[in-house]
Amino acid sequence: MKPGGGIGAAPPAHHHRKDPDDYKKSIALGGRRLIWDLLTGRTCPASGGTVGALGFPLSSPRQGTPPGRAFLKRVMLCVAVLFSAAYIVYFLWAFPSYCHHYYPHRHLQAREENPTGPVLHTVTNGSSLQPTPLLGGDDNATTTPGPSRPLPRDPPPAATSLRHVVFGIAASASLWKQRKEYIKLWWRPREMHGYVWLDKKVETPRREQALLPRLRISANTARFPYTHKGGHRSAIRISRIVSETVRLGDLPGEARWFVMGDDDTVFVSDNLLRVLSKYDHRQPYYIGGVSESHLQNIYFSYTMAYGGGGFAVSRPLAEALAGMQDRCITRYPALYGSDDRMQACMAELGVPLTREAGFHQYDVYGSLFGLLAAHPGAPLVSLHPL
């Protein structure tokens, strides 16, 4: 019988069942020892050589271990340590700013809990923040929250009415005698503001002048190129009506919308106001309708407002148009009419057409009874031509 092999003796050491956690602990302990040895200059267990602080070798490694590889490992370790330290420093520097920017309510709550002076009890109500000062100069006095007072806001703009709309009507001297009768059908002399733009001066009886918009003569457009063989140069003059209207010195200061139409266009003013009231006049808007003719829309565009049916331009967009339109139309001499020139300039300004079904160009032949009977569920804004 071998020594220690009797009854009651402990089993041999190699028969002990090891705890699985012992292996993990030994690996972790060995890794920490390796890193510590590399940083403090102890003997490198892998190569047998001696390394100094930060892992740089002080003596040659064992035979057969490439010195370049060992040195590269130590350099990589040093770089990793430096990057980790830099990241920790950056995190500690940036985290307070991040919290203050993305969680401002926590900062304000901390100020409430730890006031630094006689003022600071902050009452929060939604987005409004108001300090409530203490009465008197006693720093030890307790603060009492007062009623929340929301910050003053700009009053909402008044509802759009006819005094906010300026009409620009394209006309010609040769047809003015007949077309002025169409304008009388819908024009409200004491309520509406607008101008009729003609190519040359016309004679209008004094008794009729009070029943019509004021007459203006368009500027000379001879300097602008026009190369379309099937069109007429008057398209350039008509395309500039909105810009010329904006530049007038007697323009009402409360004007919000500029509405363009032809001298044979009839506007239903109440429905026009209903449509314009849906939009914010402080934003750039180009509102109108396309043609009822598929061929017309193919030839021109499905995203172009047809001037015969009329269109509306908000004041900010009209002012922007007036500042660039002369340069814009110079770049498009081959376009046919005024509407496509207007659309080209709107495209350069980055404003698309907002389509409203109530503006009607009506490029159709025959009776309109069927189209009018099947009118879409939208206010009837305009009819053209008469």
Mutual angle of helices 67-102 and 104-113, in 10-degree steps: 70
My answer on whether 170 and 72 are in the same domain is no
Written as six digits, the tokens of 206 are 């004094």
Average pLDDT of the chain is: 79
- In this prediction, residue 7 carries a pLDDT of 45
Specify if 144 maps to a domain: no
DSSP secondary structure code for residue 130 in this structure: E
CATH number, residue 353: 3.90.550.50
Specify if 41 maps to a domain: yes
My answer on whether 182 and 60 are in the same domain is no
Q: Which amino acid, one-letter code, is at 72? A: L
Closest to 360 in 3D by CA, of 352, 348, 368, 351: 368
My answer on whether 197 and 94 are in the same domain is no
Domain endpoint, select from 55, 78, 101: 101
My answer on whether 171 and 311 are in the same domain is yes
Specify if 113 maps to a domain: no
- In this prediction, residue 42 carries a pLDDT of 53
Number of domains in the chain: 2
By three-state DSSP, how is residue 129 classified? strand
By three-state DSSP, how is residue 352 classified? coil
Q: Which amino acid, one-letter code, is at 237? A: R
Specify if 9 maps to a domain: no
My answer on whether 315 and 167 are in the same domain is yes
Structural domain harbouring 284: 162-383
Burial profile 54-90: b = 16 or more Cβ within 10 angstroms, e = fewer = ebebeeebeeeeeeeebeeebeebeeeeeeeeeeeee
My answer on whether 169 and 300 are in the same domain is yes
Chain CA centroid to CA 140, Å: 49
Specify if 230 maps to a domain: yes
Specify if 63 maps to a domain: yes
Domain endpoint, select from 79, 101, 123: 101
- In this prediction, residue 306 carries a pLDDT of 92
Give, in degrees to the nearest 5, the angle at Cα 253 between 252 and 259: 55
Written as six digits, the tokens of 82 are 């430096």
CA dist., res. 258 & res. 208, Å (int): 24
Closest to 176 in 3D by CA, of 304, 263, 277, 47: 263
Question: In DSSP terms, which residues pair with 327 in a beta bridge?
Answer: none
Q: Is 274 exposed, middle or buried (0-12, 13-18, 19+ CB in 10 A)?
A: middle
By three-state DSSP, how is residue 312 classified? strand
DSSP secondary structure code for residue 366 in this structure: S
Domain endpoint, select from 74, 101, 128: 101
Please say whether the beta carbons of 44 and 37 come within 8 A: yes
By three-state DSSP, how is residue 266 classified? strand
Please say whether the beta carbons of 371 and 292 come within 8 A: yes
- In this prediction, residue 137 carries a pLDDT of 44
- In this prediction, residue 101 carries a pLDDT of 55
Written as six digits, the tokens of 188 are 């409200």
My answer on whether 179 and 327 are in the same domain is yes
The residue with tokens 């901390």 is 110
Low-confidence stretches of the chain (pLDDT beneath 50): 1-10, 13-16, 45-47, 51, 53-56, 58-60, 107-108, 110-143
Alpha carbon dihedral 274, 180, 237, 292, in 10-degree steps, equals 50
Specify if 198 maps to a domain: yes
My answer on whether 214 and 305 are in the same domain is yes
CA dist., res. 224 & res. 241, Å (int): 15
My answer on whether 169 and 93 are in the same domain is no
Specify if 374 maps to a domain: yes
Chain CA centroid to CA 70, Å: 57
My answer on whether 194 and 63 are in the same domain is no
My answer on whether 64 and 174 are in the same domain is no
My answer on whether 180 and 292 are in the same domain is yes
CA dist., res. 337 & res. 340, Å (int): 6
